[in-house]
Amino acid sequence: DQQVKQNSPSLSVQEGRISILNCDYTNSMFDYFLWYKKYPAEGPTFLISISSIKDKNEDGRFTVFLNKSAKHLSLHIVPSQPGDSAVYFCAASGVYSGGGADGLTFGKGTHLIIQP
């Protein structure tokens, strides 16, 4: 059972435009959500996070939105740049959700391709 779902395996966006990556979750025990970025042959690197007590968090070009009632979050990147081309993983954690004290449950990832 996939508790964190990223339904778009890939997304192609023109440079300078907005990239929107989506994520849905099913476990209501999740209370902290993160986005990680991964380049080939490297480990995931942290991008941005949001607590369940908020509905928006912004960091430079990156904004994460959380809709708890819909169990949905999204990552907005604006403007998109060529260096943003990577696989983006949505991840979630919660006190009783398993995977260790701060452990994460990941989605399958979305491959973002920024076209010049």
Contact set with another protein (CB under 8 A): 4, 6, 9, 34, 36, 41-46, 49, 89, 91, 98-109
The set of residues, in sequence order, having a beta carbon less than 8 Å from that of 87 and lying 6+ positions away, is 37, 38, 39, 109, 110, 111, 112
Query: Which one, 8 or 79, has the nearer CB to another protein?
Result: 8
Query: Which one, 104 or 114, has the nearer CB to another protein?
Result: 104
Minimum distance between the CB of residue 22 and another protein, rounded to whole angstroms?
Answer: 15
- Are the C-beta atoms of 83 and 94 separated by less than 8 Å? no
Minimum distance between the CB of residue 3 and another protein, rounded to whole angstroms?
Answer: 11
* Residue of 44, 6, 5, 25 lying closest to 93 (CA atoms): 25
Torsional sign, CA 96, 73, 54, 84: positive
Minimum distance between the CB of residue 20 and another protein, rounded to whole angstroms?
Answer: 19
Minimum distance between the CB of residue 30 and another protein, rounded to whole angstroms?
Answer: 14
Query: Which one, 75 or 104, has the nearer CB to another protein?
Result: 104
Query: Which one, 80 or 110, has the nearer CB to another protein?
Result: 110
What DSSP element (H or E) covers 11? strand 10-14
- Are the C-beta atoms of 21 and 40 separated by less than 8 Å? no
